[in-house]
Amino acid sequence: MARTSPASKAYRILREAALGYPEAAEDSPWGDPVMKVRGKIFLFLSVDADGLSVTAKLPQTSGIALMLPNVEPTGYNLGRSGWVSGTFETQSEPPMKMLRAWIDESYRSVAPKKLLARLDGAPAPKAAAKAPVRARKVKR
């Protein structure tokens, strides 16, 4: 029986966590899986023989994340917008608590406010009710 690598196990856990967010969906526009919310990507996630790769939008904590030796700004000029990419070796235990925090921050930076309200347990904002139209008096 083949043993599952820590990177493969982490991939499954992180994928499930990402898909647990309101209206999150998986897509593969370039071959590798991405997680989207209402058509906007919030996470790139893949695993292969080299290990686990996670790319997330971190507008608040990208500076902290970039201090890690295995994290760098994402290419294609996405790094300027707070996107970071981290790689974690196949046989090492990825920092799951940190990666879940990355998923959360990334989702929150992309998702619409209505979904964030739902995520936080608050009732979704109701559409503003239109005031009834009153008939005007015509001056004669």
- Per DSSP, the three-state class of 13 is helix
Q: What is the DSSP letter of 39?
A: T
- Rounded Cα gap, residues 124 and 117, in angstroms: 6
pLDDT tens per residue, range 67-126: 988 998 888 766 677 899 999 998 888 999 999 999 999 999 999 999 998 887 766 555
Residues facing residue 14 across a β-bridge: none
The structure tokens listed for 139 are 């001056």
Distance CA 80, CA 111 (A): 19
Q: How many helices (H) and strands (E) does the chain have?
A: 4, 6
Its pTM stands at 0.81
Using one digit for the tens of pLDDT, what is the confidence trace for 14-73?
Answer: 999 999 999 999 999 888 889 999 999 999 999 998 899 999 999 999 989 999 889 988
Q: How far is Cα 82 from Cα 105, in angstroms, rounded to an integer?
A: 11
Contact 51, 7 (CB under 8 A): yes
